[in-house]
């Protein structure tokens, strides 16, 4: 695969972008990385992701794929024979992986909001208390032998 055939539009501080970078690295897929200025998005990003206008966007030849989870699925299905499968094979094991994917999606978004609204955290807002409690339970669950 030519490096220029796979391009990733990203932003250095985006956890959603890192998901895609790690998947590409796990699969050993070469890609060109394009850093976006989110306050002045490139015309390509706006063309490739006209609905959300967000990173990450993966461009593979003529195809542009948006939304990190959709991109992960595209990578898994396109490069099936490459080194590593991103998802386990058993249906239960896959459901566990999907649970944590969804948890990441919801909580990373909550944390982004939390960082933007520091006052909410400072004031011990009930939403941030609930988020912290969920993150603690997730940490405990991930540390349990069942997940290793
Ligand atoms: N649901 C999207 C979230 C992507 C997202 O929120 N990207 C942020 C960077 S972390 C972005 O591009 N923000 C620019 C904007 O909102 O205008 C995904 O999973 O890819």
Token pair recorded at residue 120: 């909410």
Q: How far apart are the first and last CA of the chain?
A: 33
Could you tell me the pLDDT band of residue 119, with boundaries at 50, 70 and 90? very low
Choose between 103 and 27: higher pLDDT: 27
- Of 24-33, 42-51, 98-107, 124-133, give the lowest mean pLDDT range: 124-133
Long-range contacts of 97-106 (CB under 8 A, 24+ apart): 100/142, 101/69, 101/72, 103/138, 104/15, 104/19, 105/68, 105/69
pLDDT of 140 > 50? The answer is yes
58: helix, strand or coil? strand
Note whether 35 and 28 are within 8 A (CB).
Answer: no
Could you tell me the pLDDT band of residue 123, with boundaries at 50, 70 and 90? low
| Atom number in ligand 1 closest to CA 55 | 12
Between the CA of 55 and the centroid of ligand 1 the distance, in Å, is 5
Residues in contact with ligand 1 by the CB-under-6-Å rule are 11, 14, 16, 38, 53-56, 67-69
Q: What is this structure's pTM?
A: 0.81
Hey, whose CA ends up nearest to atom 17 of ligand 1?
54
Please give the distance of CA 38 from its chain centroid, rounded to a whole number. 17
């Amino acid at each position: 695969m030519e490096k220029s055939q796979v391009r990733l539009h990203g932003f250095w501080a985006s956890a959603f972008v890192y998901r895609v970078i790690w998947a590409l690295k796990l699969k050993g897929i070469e890609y060109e990385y394009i850093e976006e200025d989110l306050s002045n998005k490139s015309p390509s990003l706006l063309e490739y992701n006209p609905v959300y206008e967000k990173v990450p966007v993966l461009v593979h030849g003529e195809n542009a794929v948006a939304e990190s989870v959709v991109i992960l699925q595209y990578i898994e299905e396109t490069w099936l024979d490459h080194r590593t499968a991103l998802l386990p094979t058993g249906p239960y094991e896959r459901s566990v992986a999907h649970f944590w994917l969804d948890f990441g999606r919801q909580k990373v978004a909550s944390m982004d909001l939390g960082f933007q609204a520091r006052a909410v955290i400072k004031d011990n807002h009930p939403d941030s208390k609930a988020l912290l409690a969920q993150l603690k339970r997730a940490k405990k669950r991930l540390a349990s032998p069942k997940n290793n």
